[in-house]
Structure 1
Amino acid sequence: MADEIAKVYQPPVEDKDLADTNTVTQGFEYDEYPPSGKDAAHIPANAYEVDPFSAQRADHEEDCVDFRSMGWVQAGLVATAENIALGALSYPSIFLRLGMVGGLIANVGLGVLAYITAWIMIDFKMKHMGVMHFADAGGLLFGPWGRRILGAGMVAKSIGLGGSHVLAGRQALNTLSTNAICSVWYALIIAFVSVMMSTNREFGKLAPLSWLSVSCILIACMITIVATGVQSSSVLVKHGVPIEWHATPTNPNLMDVIGALTNVVFAYGGNMGVFSWCSEMKNPNDFKKSFLITQGLGIIVYCIVGATIYAFGGQYVTSPAFTMTTKPVRITAYAFALVTILISGIVGLNVGAKYLYVNTFRKSRLLTSKGLRARLAWVGIVTVMWIAAFVLAELIPFFNQLLTIVSSLFSVWFSYGLCGVIWFYNKHPYYAHDGEIRSMTGFWPKFFMGCAILSIALSIAITPLGLYSAIQGIRDGYSAGTFTHPFSCS
């Protein structure tokens, strides 16, 4: 299938270094892409056709960080560390709300669709090599305000993701230490350690840590699956009601179903980083192979974890599923999961941080400089974002609902809806430029158009329903008095 699709989706330009070609016209209008390195300094900083990393490397090779260094295996590891994290152990609760069949269909369907939309994004990147992140794509599609809005969305989602990892890390340390100190201090420790581990600007430097992260979460998942399968039912059973699982939802309501779907969307929210990761690859088109591994492994892990633990725990499943096991097992699983909590949080937050870094220094030598000022600028951006994540996690008592809001407003559009818009802009004959020939004949163009339409429709539906679900959850939480006060030690 991949070969047949590739015949339709041939990249319009080769991914060369800027110094490989010498054809330049007057007025800095280039007949051929990419332009020559000797004129890189004159390239407009906001040009979406020119990769600023390669442009600066061509002009300042003696003092230049080679951001374009990742191979497809490294990129796949980084993307997998972002996609497969502690959220895997929330999947049993998704299966509880959707039923066994509904959970499998939602997970496989949205996972496959997320890979197709990532393919669309990579083709768009190959045609516009200066698109360094999703905000750049927004600028090309919708103009300056599109760039600003999507940039703000990237930062908001990254901070929200960092905050969720602060909370998860706090819970892990509380479990491991039996609440030895106030949990606010544990949250601060997670934020501080995350900053210390984020000093490298290149995503490629995170590949070894990403391998460790994926290994640890798979071990934690296996421990939880085995423990829930072999432990006595008395650990979970209450009031003598036996464990039961169902193929379809029992007494479903709109909030539960939409909440479950937004959780699946959030799990596949790593698509927001596709442009950022491609921008640091030797050949961005190879990310199609990287993301195939990422999504394939993600779908398999989510299905196995969600289905087996739901079958073992039935109506008693919890999120995360660690809490369904006995204390010794829970402590062991959390010890492995803590590694993943730290590393996957760094990868996710760095996507938003890299947007801020590139956006701030695109016109500056600091973008690729090896100097101390450039490194301190990066650490400063990362520090501010982790402080914001810590404050957000401790200040807002309805954090799960906040993540649902962020997922409804941004994750679903970054992973699905905007990718559908990108396909129409990039491939549909209606949007062809003067002299450009586009054809819709054959199966694959129509297939991708159908996926683009489905992605847009899905996003339009989930956004208002997800917001309704979150707002209703906030109201219910305040009515029941279940929200704790800010900076609580509980």
Structure 2
Amino acid sequence: MIAETISLGILSLPSVLARIGLVPGLILIVGLGIIATYTGWVIGQFRMEYPWVVSFADAGEILFKPLKMGAIGREFFGGAQTIFLIFTMASHILTWTICLNTVTDSATCTVVWAVVGLVIFFIFDLPRTLKNVSWMSIASFISIFSAVLISMVAIGIQKPRGNTKLATTTVLPFTDAFVSVSNIVFAYAGHSCFFGFLAEMKNPAKDWTKALIFLQMWDISLYIIAATVIYVFAGPNVDSPALSSAGPVVRKVAWGIAIPTIIIAGIIYGHVAAKYIFVRCFRGTVHMNRRTKTSTLAWTGITLTIWVIAWIIAESIPNFNDLLGLISALFASHFTYTLSGVFGLFLNHGHWFDSPKQIMLFCINWIVIAIGATVCVAGLYSSGTAIAADGGNGSWTCASNAQ
């Protein structure tokens, strides 16, 4: 799932640099990435302290337990994570329609392509188990990495920017600027699945920090290189998603190569969301481990329902950057930043001022919470304003959303 988040981040970041300027954009990419590394480390520390935690729902139960509301915390956090997954599924349906419109020169109504995507994702999510998910994620990453690499080479050769001067910094309305910030936040939204990965590690106490640093070094580097190269050669009119800037022929090739990551990522997100709901409904019953008529019908119904909801979201918010900004404000701001600050304060409760180190961590955790809260509030306002300004342009229509 982290690979899938990285893929969507790569596609949106070149246009972020075009909107807010090269220098501010790179500073934010690096700065938010460094903070995300710290928050990922805090999640690891929380898991070491409570080794039975395998999801944010479990973490929510622990946080709310001192208030005698552990069950409420579990349901709230679990529900939030599931809604986050559904919105991310919507982003893949939207990306699918852009891809098909680009590859086919908009030969079919966009709503039809969305329905085709809905059917494909639903069918592939019908099996109740996803074997070899790690291999699927590797294939997904290779797919998007190859597509971005081809686009970078093509854009570098074609130089569509021409002699247009690049803006080192720009002046934007607050809402436009913060939608861009929210797009960067989404690029680091993989934290929502960190507890699951920690649960799969044989020796998380030894390996988690190394794995986290390795991940963050790679994704920050990829973001900087891809965003900078594409923006510098494509110029201020770079498309979002960025693959569409590769020229009329190469962009079709790039989008075709990206199809596996669009499908695989959507399947994984859909499966995780459906699995949580299914386990929540049937935990402790015979339907959990046996393929009964009830379990089959329930799984099919749950899978179809969440994909239909995702399809509705994708059709209602047809702008790629607006949708990613909304997802970041509603969910990524908390899963990546706010909650990690809360975890840090929770772990050190009663020892906040015992030493200079503890005082420093206390301040850092509150800063992280403030960052998450700011991204949520300002991001929601900015995304809502941007969506309203679009006036539903492209929603529920046959109009092509290809760039």
Coarse TM-score class (shorter-chain normalised) = 0.7 to 0.9
1:158 aligns with 2:85: yes
**SS of 1:383's equivalent?**
helix
Matched AA of 2:135: P
Cα distance, 1:294–1:371 mapped onto 2, change above 3 Å: farther
TM-score relative to the length of structure 2: 0.88
Partner of 1:89: 11
Q: Does structure 2 retain, via aligned residues, the 8 Å contact 1:113–1:451?
A: no
Partner of 2:184: 264
Cα distance, 1:380–1:304 mapped onto 2, change above 3 Å: same
For 2:208 and 2:199, the matched residues in 1 are separated by 10
Q: Does structure 1 retain, via aligned residues, the 8 Å contact 2:176–2:386?
A: no
Partner of 1:414: 335
Tell me the matched-pair count.
393
For 2:29 and 2:96, the matched residues in 1 are separated by 26
Matched AA of 1:405: L
TM-score relative to the length of structure 1: 0.73
For 1:125 and 1:378, the matched residues in 2 are separated by 30
Q: Does structure 1 retain, via aligned residues, the 8 Å contact 2:159–2:234?
A: no
Matched AA of 2:194: V
RCO higher in structure (CA 8 A, sep ≥6): 2
For 2:129 and 2:40, the matched residues in 1 are separated by 21
**SS of 1:243's equivalent?**
coil
1:148 aligns with 2:75: yes
Cα distance, 1:397–1:98 mapped onto 2, change above 3 Å: closer
**Shift in Å at residue 111 of structure 1?**
1.5
5+ unaligned residues in a row in structure 1: which ranges?
A: 1-78, 432-438
For 2:159 and 2:222, the matched residues in 1 are separated by 25
> Identity, % of aligned pairs?
34
1:179 aligns with 2:92: no
1:354 aligns with 2:264: no
For 1:397 and 1:221, the matched residues in 2 are separated by 22
Matched AA of 2:193: G
5+ unaligned residues in a row in structure 2: which ranges?
A: none
Partner of 1:458: 371
**Shift in Å at residue 314 of structure 1?**
2.4
Q: Does structure 2 retain, via aligned residues, the 8 Å contact 1:175–1:331?
A: yes
**Shift in Å at residue 149 of structure 1?**
2.8
Partner of 1:210: 137
**SS of 2:165's equivalent?**
coil
Structure 2 matches for 1:196-207, cutoff 5 A? 196-199=123-126, 201=128, 205-207=132-134
**SS of 1:91's equivalent?**
helix
For 2:35 and 2:290, the matched residues in 1 are separated by 39
**SS of 2:106's equivalent?**
coil
Q: Which residue of the other structure, out of 372, 375, 389, is the alignment partner of 2:310?
A: 389
Cα distance, 1:365–1:352 mapped onto 2, change above 3 Å: same
Cα distance, 1:282–1:202 mapped onto 2, change above 3 Å: farther
Q: Does structure 1 retain, via aligned residues, the 8 Å contact 2:4–2:140?
A: no
Q: Structure 1 or 2: larger helix share?
A: 2
Q: Does structure 2 retain, via aligned residues, the 8 Å contact 1:100–1:307?
A: yes
Structure 2 matches for 1:356-375, cutoff 5 A? 356-367=277-288, 369=289, 371=291
Q: Which residue of the other structure, out of 11, 17, 28, is the alignment partner of 1:106?
A: 28
| Superposition CA RMSD, Å | 2.7
For 1:280 and 1:289, the matched residues in 2 are separated by 15
Partner of 2:350: 429
Measured against aligned partners, the alpha-carbon deviations of 1:217-246 in whole angstroms (never above 9, x if no partner) come to: 11111111111111154xx56xxxx32223
For 2:242 and 2:320, the matched residues in 1 are separated by 19
Q: Does structure 2 retain, via aligned residues, the 8 Å contact 1:203–1:280?
A: no
